[in-house]
Amino acid sequence: MVLNLPNLLSTLRIFLSPIFIWLILSDSPVNIGIAIILFFIAAITDFFDGWIARRYKDVTEWGAFFDPLADKVLTNSALIAFAMKEWIPLWMVFIIIARDIAVTLLRLYGESVGHPIQTRRSAKWKTLLQMLFILYTLILYFLLYPMGLQSPVLQQLFHPTTLTLLFAVVTLLTLYTAAEYVVTNRSLFRHLWQHQILPSLRNHIIEKIWLSCFGIGYIPVLPGTIASAVTLGLWFFLFPSSLWQQAVVAGTVLLLSLIAVATMDLHTEDPSWVVTDEVVGMLTALLFLPPYPPLLSLLSSFLLFRILDIWKPPPIKAVEKLPLLGIFADDLLAGMLAGVATVILGQFLW
């Protein structure tokens, strides 16, 4: 990373994002006011880092990648906070986050193969519209609650139905930009298919499709994390709330994965494209949660599981050496520890 002023401003936006979430979720009027001020400051840095870089010819490759990433972290942090307050639907926020993750991964892959993705003007309008929606929501919230203004007009403008309709426009534009990215960068998708996915599927195609979670494992950047995130999303929207039904789903995934691994004779290695172990581990962590858990519990389970699975402290590292089971045993243990830790955190924090 080049430590120039534009890149430092982009970094500042990322550091302010979790602080903003913590403050805006507080019941304190002072904290809410500070949160809104911090978001305004962060949003202003989005303008100035680009302007400074162009004005003083201090544009870097790192900055070109890091600036839009910082925008995504800031806006998605605000949208997650809004969903936690039940101002906007959570599924719309998931669509926007999924789009941003996919574009970021595509950008990384394009850079790695010398084929940078092409960004269209609509993507900039999407970011601007997201910022305007967030500022609109924050200003109304501040006027109605910390300041205590009793205005029927303001209350109607801040009504969940109004916010949902406005956010639906933002979501539709987000989906449009995602489709535009696919069309504009179709040659990059062809390269990804021909040089990454297709060669890996020539032998044991059924086993590889299953173990890679239908191709997720062949994504060149963070396939395990993506598989875990997809599992979390499917669990939230589709999986039954009954504990035994969840256990049956996790056990079935594990059994089929073990059969596939044994068929391919993967007894002593854990290829990066095998991500059903991450699915099993994530499902294990979610087994510890109650029906319809709060969003913080879901995020805690996901983050703790990924940290433990990547870091692999001694107990997890030890079971990784088991023949055949080792591919899945470390993720199972990481999921158990993440689930227990989430339950303990829930008793003290939410």
pLDDT digits (tens, 9 = 90+) for 74-129: 898 899 889 888 899 888 888 888 888 888 877 777 777 777 776 677 788 888 89
Is pLDDT of 168 > 50?
yes
What is the structure's pLDDT at 54?
65
What is the structure's pLDDT at 253?
86
* 40 and 182 both lie in a single domain: yes
Is pLDDT of 34 > 80?
yes
What is the structure's pLDDT at 158?
93
Of the candidates 149, 100, 101, the one whose C-alpha atom is nearest the C-alpha of residue 126 is 100
> Would you place residue 1 in the very low, low, confident or very high pLDDT band (cuts 50, 70, 90)?
very low
Domain boundary among 190, 218, 237: 190
In a domain, 245, yes or no: yes
What is the structure's pLDDT at 265?
67
- 158 φ, ψ (degrees, to nearest 5): -100, 5
Full residue range of the structural domain in which residue 82 is found: 5-190
In a domain, 195, yes or no: no
Whether the model pTM is above 0.75: no
Per-residue pLDDT of 220-271, as tens digits, reads 888 999 999 989 888 877 765 567 677 778 888 888 888 788 777 665 567 8
Per-residue pLDDT of 170-223, as tens digits, reads 999 988 888 888 778 778 777 776 776 666 656 677 788 888 888 888 888 889
In a domain, 197, yes or no: no
What is the structure's pLDDT at 295?
78
Q: Give the CA count within 13 Å in the CB-facing half-sphere of 144.
A: 15
Per-residue pLDDT of 134-144, as tens digits, reads 999 999 998 88
Residues in the chain: 350
DSSP designation for 320: T
* 63 and 155 both lie in a single domain: yes
* 141 and 212 both lie in a single domain: no
What is the residue-averaged pLDDT of the chain?
81
Is pLDDT of 157 > 80?
yes
Give me the number of domains the chain comprises.
2
* 29 and 97 both lie in a single domain: yes
In this prediction, residues 319-342 reach a mean pLDDT of 83
CB neighbours of 308 closer than 8 A, spacing ≥ 6? 316, 334, 337, 338
Domain boundary among 156, 190, 224: 190
Domain boundary among 163, 190, 217: 190
Of the candidates 9, 17, 33, the one whose C-alpha atom is nearest the C-alpha of residue 73 is 17
**Cβ neighbourhood burial of 344 (10 Å; 0-12, 13-18, 19+):** exposed
The rounded percent of the chain whose pLDDT value lies above 70 is 85
Domain of residue 162, CATH code: 1.20.120.1760
